[in-house]
Structure 1
Amino acid sequence: MLGGLAGAIALNLVHEYARKRFKDAPAVNRIAEGGIAKVANTFGQPSPTPEVKYGMAMTGDLVANTFYYSTIAKEEGGNIWLRGLCIGLIGGLGALFLPKQVGLDDTPVTRTPLTKVLTVAWYTIGGVVAAATVQALRRQQQQG
């Protein structure tokens, strides 16, 4: 789980830093916020305030991506770097293509070609960070 948490934190840090500084940066949090509003409306509840939606989106993102990236550590054998790269790449592609499939606005991650590339790149960074963390933890276990 620590490797997954490291990958999720890396993804969120890159996302938040760039989202506040670059116009073409993906805004993955907006997709989650839209999902939160949609669920609230489905149950006849008002949409939470923007601050609450943001907090819920970031918390949900951190939890979901921790579990997602923790799959990198599932197997002992094989190339952990390749697993991290592939899991990150698949996560980024999923972030591009799944929102529309579940009825959410995908514009925050698809509005420009650069936004699409950055979305995939950031999820890939998360996968690589998770792989590096898992590898470091395994080395530490072997030595101690």
Structure 2
Amino acid sequence: MQTEKVPHALLSGLIGAVALNVLHETVRQFVPQAPRADLLGERSIVKGFKAAGAEPPTGTALYASAMAGDVLSNAIYYSTVGLGDKQPVLTGAAIGALAGIGAVTLPGPMGLGEGPTERTPATVAMTIGWYLFGGLVAGAVYERFRRPTTA
């Protein structure tokens, strides 16, 4: 990836990550089977703090930390749409689908529980679909950056 494209890739990744989190946080307010990425993030933070022998944040501070970590990590991940410079939307779809599959299959083995993303078939489908959505948004934004602007 050329150096001048890095800011576009990072911004595309950030927009994809924000789109994903807005979708997660909005739908979970209304749909009982919705994935709970917020709980996975909170559990990760608590686990990390305890492993370091430190007291983890609680309440609103824990939630805010989880959201910030989720957006940051997903933004970095989704910024890889810039690596597939020929077809960023297709690259976004691929990395989004892979992230969704990982969000379903990895929490259990990582000791974070399976319920937040795997409790029902609908939860699994939404989890994969929403990460796919985030990747598609990142890819579409990056594609838009690639098009020359007309003055």
Tell me the residue number matched to 2:131.
Answer: 123
Percent identity of the aligned residues? 39
Tell me the residue number matched to 1:59.
Answer: 68
Tell me the residue number matched to 1:11.
Answer: 20
Q: Structure 2, unaligned stretches of length 5 or more?
A: 1-9
Determine the C-alpha separation between the residues in 2 that align with 1:122 and 1:99: 17
Instruction: Give the Å deviation of 1:22.
Output: 0.8
Tell me the residue number matched to 1:91.
Answer: 99
SS of aligned partner of 1:99: coil
Is 1:81 paired with 2:89?
A: yes
TM-score scaled to structure 1, two decimals?
Answer: 0.92
In the alignment of these two chains, the number of paired residues is 142
Determine the C-alpha separation between the residues in 2 that align with 1:129 and 1:76: 15
Determine the C-alpha separation between the residues in 2 that align with 1:122 and 1:5: 15
State which of 29, 32, 55 in structure 2 corresponds to 1:46. Answer: 55
Tell me the residue number matched to 2:6.
Answer: none
Tell me the residue number matched to 1:24.
Answer: 33
TM-score scaled to structure 2, two decimals?
Answer: 0.88
Q: Determine if contact 1:31/1:106 at 8 Å carries over to the other structure.
A: no
Is 1:72 paired with 2:91?
A: no
Moved more, 31-40 or 7-16: 31-40
Q: Deviations over 1:95-136 (max 9, x none)?
A: 011111222112111111100100000000001100110011
Moved more, 38-47 or 110-119: 38-47
Instruction: Give the Å deviation of 1:74.
Output: 1.7
Instruction: Give the Å deviation of 1:92.
Output: 0.3
Q: Structure 1, unaligned stretches of length 5 or more?
A: none
Q: Determine if contact 2:84/2:91 at 8 Å carries over to the other structure.
A: no
